[in-house]
Structure 1
Amino acid sequence: MGILSGIRVLDCSIAMAGPFAAQRLGDLGADVVKVEPVNGEWQRHVAAGGARGNKVNVSFLSLNRNKRSLAIDLKAEEGRKILYDLVKTADVFLQNYRPGVARRLGVDYETLSKINPRLVYVSMSGYGESGPYMNRPGQDLILQAMSGAMLSAGRAGEPPTPSGQYLVDAITAYTAFEGTLAALFHRERTGEGQLVQVNMLDAITTIQMQELSVFTVGGKEQKRSAEPHAHVYIRSPYGAFATSDGYIVIAFPSLKKFGEIIGEPSFLDMNDEVDSWTRRDEIFAKTRERLKAKTSAEWLKLFADADIWAGPVYGYKELVEDPQIKHNGAFVEYDHPTEGHVKTPGFPIKFSKTPSKVERGAPLAGEHTREVLTEAGYDGETIDRLEKAGVIGMGGF
């Protein structure tokens, strides 16, 4: 049994941040019922990176394991009634509708908390549920740009540097996951449910607590320079450098020790805490030239022996085959009824007594509608009538 066994989650979210947060709850044993439109959630029909599956595309597959699918029309009165019946015994309700949509659908916190005062209601948004930006689209790249993070790396005068991941979506999912657990803990103590609000702008701002404090408290300007430093607030050399056969990264070594190893005499008399800032571009450029002389493996061996922080630059092919990744069990593998063998990142927290596990892969749309409604007390005749009327779906999109 998982650590959240016995907790039921109604997941009404779409795209990445909400489904990812709900999947993490499912990985810990919660019964996650994905409530989606009769024709399936939007993400089912959009290919990520051009990758499509047979019935379940890769993006949806990666974000919706350990869930059951209930396909209903929330715009229909009978569809809302089904949801209200499920809310009576639910522990968590999670949604990331645009502000105002939940109220129009009749699934806002005020409505559902009257049905079940113990409900933990998690509401996710782009910018917050009030204020001048509340109706703006909460898209990952847009939030990255607004957060200031794109100007913390790269060269002055060159375009801003976006993350290679859906960074804001991911950190928002983690924030919602943490908030859900905290609210469930509060409920265990008091019996009270509550509203938990998470927004993408605050999430991406908060994880920059060091960088922003250097600016707001330390008064240091966020200034990029001529070389592509990996971070404007970390001393040189810091970044990715070409070797004779690939790339490695170097993280702010002692200049004297580093200079001795790479054969750069000008580093030997430099002061780490002075010259590494005032001569940042010079140090970066000289490091770049010296590292072309040997292979990545040769440099990494020399740096490891000298206790200098350095590492390889991987692509996904190398990451998946890395021995530490394999040792950690960082990926889970299972067989899916329509997509075949699936290998995908797993749950990163290890529990000695209640480990996470994959109970089921991502569901087809409406795959569990009959099962969930039967548990809620609906008889077969009523379920058949609702399907015929288009209120529910069991089509397996």
Structure 2
Amino acid sequence: MNVLEGIRVLDLSIAMAGPFAAQKLADLGADVIKVEPVTGEWQRHVSAGGARGNAVNASFLSLNRNKRSLSMNLKDPEGRALLHDLVRGADVFLQNYRPGVADRLGVDYTTLRELKPDLVYVSMSGYGSTGPYADRPGQDVLLQAMSGALASARRHGEAPRPAPFFLADAITAYSAFEGAMAALFHRERTGEGQLVEVNMLDSIIAAQMQEISVATVGGVRQEPTDQIHAHSYIRAPYGIFPTSDSHLALSFAEMDALAEVFGDDRFLAYDAERDGFTHRDEISALVTENLAANTTAHWLDELAAAGVWVGPVYDYTQLRDDPQVRHNGSFVEYQHPTEGTVVTPGFTFRLSAQDQEVYRPAPLNGQHTQEVLLELGLTIDRIAELESSGTVHRHRRPALSQLS
């Protein structure tokens, strides 16, 4: 049995954070119904990195596996009524609409709680549902910048560099997933549903609890450096350093070990704990100078043998080929009806009571409309009428002549 088997989730979210959170629930066995417009969710049509795919974008595939697609027009009173009927049989409702949209569509928490008192309602936003920034766009790099994170890894005279992936979105997805799970556990104990509010700003701030506390409790400011340094609160050497042919990652190295590996006694003039903060630039400059003398492969072997914490700097292709990544099964592979073989990261933890993971591909728009509405008690004829009126959209398999 899967952990969330029997739990039904209505996922009305778009873009990354909401769909990612809902996918985590789906991966644990919840029946996640992706309720999307008749034209399909926005992410189906906007490519990430130009990876448009044949009929479905790669970014959509990565965030919507193990879900069913119900395609309907919620601005249509009949569509809204169908959704309300679905809510009566649902356990979790997840949305990340802009402020005011849920109220206009009649899918706000107050309305849905009347239909399903024990509903777990997860509302996601950029900055919070109220306050001076409530109407601002909650976009990832804006939240990274505002959160203070970018001041921890920059050099004098250079602009701060944001993370090269959607960091705020990913952290927010985990927050929403945790909130939904906690609320479901509370409901198991009490029978009560509740509103779970998650926003990107609080999520990315909380993820920096250690760094922010150094400033708020310890009174130590973030200070930029002249040399390579990846974190203002970690002693040198710490960061990504060039070698003669590429780069490597280095952290928490002891000075005597560096002196031995490099054959450079200048490191012995420094104490790692005392001088690693006050002489960061000098130590990092010595590391850069020495690493330039040989290849990444050479230094990875030599430094690791001396007990130095060192590692490779991969691109995504190299990452897939790493033996530990393959051993862990970090990536999963399955077949999609229009995109062929899909390779994507899998679930992040494993439970002994969870059945072996079975991954179903991200649905086509409206692929399960008829299936879900039949479960709701509608007849084939009634579904056909709703489709004709534009209230719902149903994906139809192409005729054989269209496939040839």
**TM-score computed with the length of structure 1 as normaliser:** 0.98
Confirm whether residue 57 of structure 1 aligns to residue 61 of structure 2. Answer: no
Corresponding residue for 1:219?
Answer: 219
Contact residue 256 and residue 270 of structure 1 kept, 8 A: no
Corresponding residue for 1:253?
Answer: 253
Contact residue 350 and residue 356 of structure 1 kept, 8 A: no
- Report how far residue 254 of structure 1 moved: 1.1
- Report how far residue 269 of structure 1 moved: 3.1
Distance 2:342 2:167 in 1: 23
Q: State which drifts further: 185-194 or 294-303.
A: 294-303
SS at match of 2:15: coil
- Report how far residue 54 of structure 1 moved: 1.3
Deviation string for 1:197-250 (max 9, x for gaps)? 000000000000011001000000111111131111101110111112221111
Corresponding residue for 1:237?
Answer: 237
Distance 2:118 2:356 in 1: 25
- Report how far residue 351 of structure 1 moved: 1.4
- Report how far residue 395 of structure 1 moved: 3.6
Contact residue 263 and residue 290 of structure 1 kept, 8 A: no
Aligned amino acid, residue 370 of structure 1: Q
Distance 2:150 2:346 in 1: 28
Contact residue 334 and residue 359 of structure 2 kept, 8 A: no
SS at match of 1:273: helix
Contact residue 28 and residue 356 of structure 1 kept, 8 A: no
Aligned amino acid, residue 245 of structure 2: D
Q: 1:386 to 1:59 in 2, by over 3 A?
A: same
Distance 1:89 1:141 in 2: 37
Identity among equivalent pairs (%): 62
Corresponding residue for 2:196?
Answer: 196
Distance 1:91 1:298 in 2: 55
Aligned amino acid, residue 276 of structure 1: G
Contact residue 61 and residue 361 of structure 1 kept, 8 A: yes
Corresponding residue for 1:295?
Answer: 295
Corresponding residue for 1:365?
Answer: 365
- Report how far residue 362 of structure 1 moved: 0.6
- Report how far residue 356 of structure 1 moved: 5.4
Distance 1:223 1:243 in 2: 26
Contact residue 87 and residue 112 of structure 1 kept, 8 A: yes
Distance 1:395 1:92 in 2: 25
Aligned amino acid, residue 292 of structure 1: A
Equivalent residue runs for 1:75-86 within 5 Å:
75-86=75-86
- Report how far residue 396 of structure 1 moved: 5.9
Deviation string for 1:374-396 (max 9, x for gaps)? 00111111111110000000146
Contact residue 369 and residue 393 of structure 1 kept, 8 A: yes
For the aligned residue pairs, the C-alpha RMSD in angstroms reads 1.1
Confirm whether residue 119 of structure 1 aligns to residue 119 of structure 2. Answer: yes
Deviation string for 1:335-364 (max 9, x for gaps)? 111111111101011112214523420111
Corresponding residue for 1:99?
Answer: 99
Distance 1:296 1:355 in 2: 41
Distance 1:71 1:167 in 2: 29
Distance 2:304 2:56 in 1: 44
Contact residue 228 and residue 241 of structure 2 kept, 8 A: no
Deviation string for 1:17-68 (max 9, x for gaps)? 0000000100010000000001101111101100111111111011000000
Greater than 2 Å deviation, 4+ residue runs: 355-359
Equivalent residue runs for 1:161-200 within 5 Å:
161-200=161-200
**Runs (5+) with no aligned partner, structure 2:** 398-404
Aligned amino acid, residue 157 of structure 2: G
Q: 1:132 to 1:253 in 2, by over 3 A?
A: same
Contact residue 95 and residue 123 of structure 1 kept, 8 A: yes
Distance 2:5 2:370 in 1: 22
Distance 1:309 1:228 in 2: 17
Contact residue 122 and residue 198 of structure 1 kept, 8 A: yes
**TM-score computed with the length of structure 2 as normaliser:** 0.96
Aligned amino acid, residue 167 of structure 1: L
How many residue pairs were aligned? 397
Q: 1:217 to 1:356 in 2, by over 3 A?
A: farther
Q: 1:98 to 1:36 in 2, by over 3 A?
A: same
Deviation string for 1:107-141 (max 9, x for gaps)? 00000011001110000000000000000000001
Corresponding residue for 1:89?
Answer: 89
